[in-house]
Amino acid sequence: RETGFAKEAVPRLRRALELDGSHMSARYQLALALRDSGELQAAADTLQQLINSEPTYASGQPFLDLAQI
């Protein structure tokens, strides 16, 4: 995992979600970037938000990712 890349991506993805909070792909990518940068609780919270708002997103992949945190 590329920690530096993930840390750079986090603020950009957060900004994208400020502009469009319904963008599920951005929320998922934010969760992965948070995980990869070591922010595990924030990653878990973000995945949980995604699961709550769109339980069928990506055929359940967020559930698998949440289980790995």
> Model confidence over 2-59: pLDDT tens digits?
568 888 999 999 999 999 999 999 998 999 999 999 999 999 899 888 888 887 776 6
pLDDT score, position 2: 59
Residue 69 has pLDDT above 90, yes or no: no
Handedness of CA 31, 36, 37, 42 (dihedral sign): positive
Q: What is the DSSP string of the chain?
A: --HHHHHHHHHHHHHHHHH-TT-HHHHHHHHHHHHHTT-HHHHHHHHHHHHHH-TTGGGGHHHHHHHT-
Q: Return the number of other C-beta atoms located less than 10 Å from residue 38's C-beta.
A: 12
pTM over 0.75: yes
